[in-house]
Structure 1
Amino acid sequence: MKNNQNIGDIPSGNWHFENINDNFIQAEKYSEILWESTTKYQTAKIIEGLYFGRSLILDGKTQSTTSDEFIYHESLVHPSLVQHQNPENIFIAGGGEGATAREVLKYKSIKNITMVDIDKEVVLACKKLLKNHHKNSFDNPKVNLTFGDARNYLKFTKESYDVVIIDVPDPLEAGPAYKLFTKEFYSLVKSKLKNSGILVTQAGPTDPNSAKQCFTKVFNTINSVFPLTFPYHSHVPAFGTTWGFVMGSNSEAPSTTEEIDLKLKQLSLKDLSMYDGIAHDGLFNLPKYLRASLYNETHVINDNDPLFVD
């Protein structure tokens, strides 16, 4: 059978190319760029992808897509929220698409969500163009959105929180988020948590070639601040790899499959596409190579020696 396309040829059309690392590129064909801007803080665009759907891209890195954002956001939010006995007051650093707030709002106990994002231009674009992401969470009276530096906000607020969720881009040298990956910042978060409070953050890729770049260092840094630290990961196809998260807590976690399913039933949490007791077990049962990398990590990220990823 004759094939008119040679191996390695790029099919015609518009393509978004993304460097997963220096030696690995992922590409998606798109029909149009819906919005594009160089904001005060980063380059940003929203595209209509033909595989992953509508996507937010910051500084060349995909943040979430219509196709699989639920995997990332349910993984980020629910292990901590389910574990907490009575989450009422939540702080979200970043979360510009509104999907993190959407997931938090599924808990009837929630009284207030303080969301602080540094880039107003990006958030307004997401509010307009990523409606399937936020599902009107921005309009919920429990959500109090502030534009500014999340670290600076936490420094001066007198509030204390049940759960603090760090949903910011990777710590790029030219980006706005690297100061939210240091020991000093995690110590600040701890001081703003209630006694039973929980910190959770996205922590970068966990594949064998990338895990030591960010994930293991974030884990070890949080482990230097909190008495209990729990690493986990989930496969997010649009990111081209498995993606890591880290919880820091003063109380035991995570729970068993049966306990998670019972809590979800008691909380009447039915609108979930990824997370349940079995999925919870899978998140925290890390492969051998990753457990070894976490065990051997010694680096602690500090303000005077911040972490930058490619």
Structure 2
Amino acid sequence: MGEAVEFLAYNNGFSNVHFETNHNNMIIQQNDLLVHHHQQQQQQQEDSWFEEEIDVHLKWSFALNRVLHKGTSEYQDIALLDTKHFGKVLVIDGKMQSAEVDEFIYHECLIHPPLLCHPNPKTMFIMGGGEGSAAREALRHKSIEKVVMCDIDQEVVDFCRKHLTANHEAFRNTKLDLVINDAKAELEKRKEKYDIIVGDLADPVEGGPCYQLYTKSFYENILKPKLNTNGIFVTQAGPAGVFTHKEVFSSIYNTIKHVFKYVRAYTAHVPSFADTWGWVIASDQPLCIEAGKMDKKIAERIDGELLYLNGATFVSSTILNKTVAKTLKNESHVYAEDNARFIHGQGVAYRI
């Protein structure tokens, strides 16, 4: 007979896997209790899992090598995990934020389109982005002179700077201005304007620290006035799959349409997210989305080779499937603090 696997749930999404077997050669005799105890400890260490609850009846499980960090800051639950399949992964409020092996998909899609659409980008303000990957991609552009990365959570920034080796150079770059503050408050108090503003924020969950930064009032009254004349705004916009795009993606897109003249939604599959993901790019100037021109700019402007994005890939990412396109066309919800939409999950404030 084969092995039966039973998932034993623990707090904060962590679990162990218990194996049951009928193989005769695996039967441990009574006089081998010490060996059995040692094997149990070793098995428990080898078979640790993390479970992300995507929905009430749906979980996404990751086998772990070890837990690098687990704790609760003032703002959110944080875990940095070393997984067997996806490498190091950052989990905030129980939600996968990025994985070492495929984060390049998310961050290339987030950062390079607005920089390539802009005629001569020099300054960028990143809301969130504490792990440093968004800043890393932005700093590859030769024209960039200053990147402000504003994250609310010092603890996230500190352990990402320590453990995510791919971003060590970005954190040391003299063009990076790292600020620990609420992005809304930081933008309000700053007098300068930016060529690009990026929303690299955690997903809006009930009780989380970020949902106010997806509202029409924030985009209209605080963010847009901080963009230069040719300025471009881009934000991650949550799950965008056939079954998940109505959670927040369509609402974020429709909200931004009420603030900017030219708005495009685009998507890509991110394996570690177990879904298609969405972004929204916006400006009051026309967005140049042409494969040949984007490829030319990639060759001229960016140090090193992109792993995922080229002109054709970006153009194709703006072509949405029929179900999602229809929802975006008919969406009427405008994101506001008093009628916010959330993805499944809870933030620290809600649990308290």
Question: How big is each residue's C-alpha offset from its partner over 1:12-70, in whole Å with a ceiling of 9 and x where there is no partner?
Answer: 51001001222221101001101111100001010100000101100000110111000
Residue 124 of structure 1: which of 137, 151, 158 is its match?
158
Give the percent of matched residue pairs that are identical in Structure 1 and Structure 2: 38
User: Partner of 2:194 in structure 1?
Assistant: 161
Residue 206 of structure 2: which of 154, 164, 173 is its match?
173
- The higher radius of gyration belongs to 2
User: Partner of 1:241 in structure 2?
Assistant: 275
Residue 174 of structure 2: which of 119, 136, 141 is its match?
141
User: Partner of 1:278 in structure 2?
Assistant: 312
3-state SS of 1:308 partner = coil
Contact 2:91 2:97 (8 Å CA) reproduced: yes
The 1:45–1:305 alpha-carbon spacing in structure 2 relative to 1, beyond 3 Å, is: same
Alpha-carbon distance between aligned partners in 2 of 1:210 and 1:80, rounded to the nearest angstrom: 25
User: Partner of 1:16 in structure 2?
Assistant: 50
Contact 2:87 2:100 (8 Å CA) reproduced: yes
Alpha-carbon distance between aligned partners in 1 of 2:72 and 2:308, rounded to the nearest angstrom: 34
Contact 1:32 1:47 (8 Å CA) reproduced: yes
User: Partner of 1:297 in structure 2?
Assistant: 331
User: Partner of 1:185 in structure 2?
Assistant: 218
Q: CA deviation at 1:277?
A: 1.2
Map 1:182-221 to 2 at 5 A: 182-187=215-220, 188-221=222-255
Question: How big is each residue's C-alpha offset from its partner over 1:89-125, in whole Å with a ceiling of 9 and x where there is no partner?
Answer: 1000000110000000011111111111000011000
Contact 1:79 1:254 (8 Å CA) reproduced: no
**Unmatched segments (≥5 aa) in structure 2:** 9-16, 20-46, 345-352
Alpha-carbon distance between aligned partners in 1 of 2:7 and 2:266, rounded to the nearest angstrom: 35
Question: How big is each residue's C-alpha offset from its partner over 1:226-279, in whole Å with a ceiling of 9 and x where there is no partner?
Answer: 011110011111111000000111122242111111111222443210011121
Q: Does 1:42 align with 2:108?
A: no
Contact 1:205 1:242 (8 Å CA) reproduced: yes
Q: Does 1:5 align with 2:24?
A: no
Shift >2 Å, 4+ stretches: 2-12, 268-271, 303-309
3-state SS of 1:103 partner = helix
Alpha-carbon distance between aligned partners in 2 of 1:8 and 1:172, rounded to the nearest angstrom: 26
Alpha-carbon distance between aligned partners in 1 of 2:81 and 2:203, rounded to the nearest angstrom: 20
3-state SS of 2:61 partner = strand
Contact 1:264 1:270 (8 Å CA) reproduced: no
Q: CA deviation at 1:135?
A: 3.7
User: Partner of 1:51 in structure 2?
Assistant: 85
Larger helix share, 1 or 2? 2
Q: CA deviation at 1:7?
A: 9.7
3-state SS of 2:131 partner = coil
The 1:8–1:113 alpha-carbon spacing in structure 2 relative to 1, beyond 3 Å, is: closer
Instruction: Please tell me the residue identity of whatever aligns with 1:161.
Output: Y
Map 1:72-87 to 2 at 5 A: 72-87=106-121
Instruction: Please tell me the residue identity of whatever aligns with 1:169.
Output: A
Alpha-carbon distance between aligned partners in 2 of 1:232 and 1:57, rounded to the nearest angstrom: 24
Q: Which moved more, 1:3-12 or 1:155-164?
A: 3-12
The 1:160–1:292 alpha-carbon spacing in structure 2 relative to 1, beyond 3 Å, is: same
Contact 2:130 2:160 (8 Å CA) reproduced: yes
Contact 1:20 1:240 (8 Å CA) reproduced: no
User: Partner of 1:101 in structure 2?
Assistant: 135
Instruction: Please tell me the residue identity of whatever aligns with 1:131.
Output: T
3-state SS of 2:339 partner = coil
Contact 2:126 2:200 (8 Å CA) reproduced: yes
User: Partner of 1:114 in structure 2?
Assistant: 148
User: Partner of 2:292 in structure 1?
Assistant: 258
The alignment of Structure 1 onto Structure 2 pairs a total of residues equal to 308
**Unmatched segments (≥5 aa) in structure 1:** none
**Pairwise CA RMSD of aligned residues?**
1.6
Alpha-carbon distance between aligned partners in 2 of 1:11 and 1:280, rounded to the nearest angstrom: 44
Contact 2:143 2:301 (8 Å CA) reproduced: no
Alpha-carbon distance between aligned partners in 1 of 2:313 and 2:341, rounded to the nearest angstrom: 30
Instruction: Please tell me the residue identity of whatever aligns with 1:232.
Output: Y
Instruction: Please tell me the residue identity of whatever aligns with 1:175.
Output: G
Q: TM-score, normalised by structure 2?
A: 0.84
